């Protein structure tokens, strides 16, 4: 299955990811990507309250790459702590940001208190599971 690269990146940005060039100015970070890669980091919260997490994904930003194949798609899914099926749901929008954050808390990737502090609706999802 092929995934449109631009659509996928636009949709994960709706779920809290930001490219390194679009991080809020108060966030200090070390550039982790190579010059030929586009790096997206998961942020919790907005504006001055935003917190950078350790969750990120990399893609090439070459103009030739318009679609992502299965192999790269699986690698990106692993990078963001999801199965390929869950990542497809995240990329195609059925998986909400709150549900995604709940998955990361349940897997131990993100701290529950930190996530719930920025996204209180996640607490309800965690109680239901």
The pLDDT value recorded for residue 104 is 94
The model's pTM: 0.84
The pLDDT value recorded for residue 50 is 84
pLDDT, averaged per 10 consecutive residues of the chain (129 residues), comes to 83 87 72 61 82 83 76 90 92 91 94 93 87
The pLDDT value recorded for residue 29 is 61
Give the count of domains, the chain. Answer: 1
Dist CA 10 CA 14 (whole Å): 7
The pLDDT value recorded for residue 129 is 64
Residues of the domain holding 95 = 3-128
Contact 119, 98 (CB under 8 A): yes
**Residue 124 class from Cβ within 10 Å (0-12 exposed, 13-18 middle, 19+ buried)?**
exposed
Dist CA 33 CA 98 (whole Å): 27
């Amino acid at each position: 299955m092929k995934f449109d690269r631009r659509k996928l990146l636009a949709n994960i940005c709706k779920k809290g990811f930001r490219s390194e060039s679009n991080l809020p100015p108060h966030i200090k970070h070390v550039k982790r990507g190579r010059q030929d890669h586009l790096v997206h980091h998961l942020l919790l919260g907005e504006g001055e309250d935003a917190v950078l997490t350790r969750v990120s994904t990399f893609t090439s930003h070459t103009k030739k790459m318009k679609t992502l194949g299965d192999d790269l798609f699986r690698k990106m899914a692993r990078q963001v702590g999801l199965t390929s099926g869950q990542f497809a749901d995240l990329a195609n929008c059925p998986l909400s940001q709150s549900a995604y954050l709940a998955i990361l808390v349940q897997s131990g990737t993100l701290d529950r208190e930190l996530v719930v502090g920025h996204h209180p609706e996640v607490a309800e999802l965690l109680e239901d599971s």
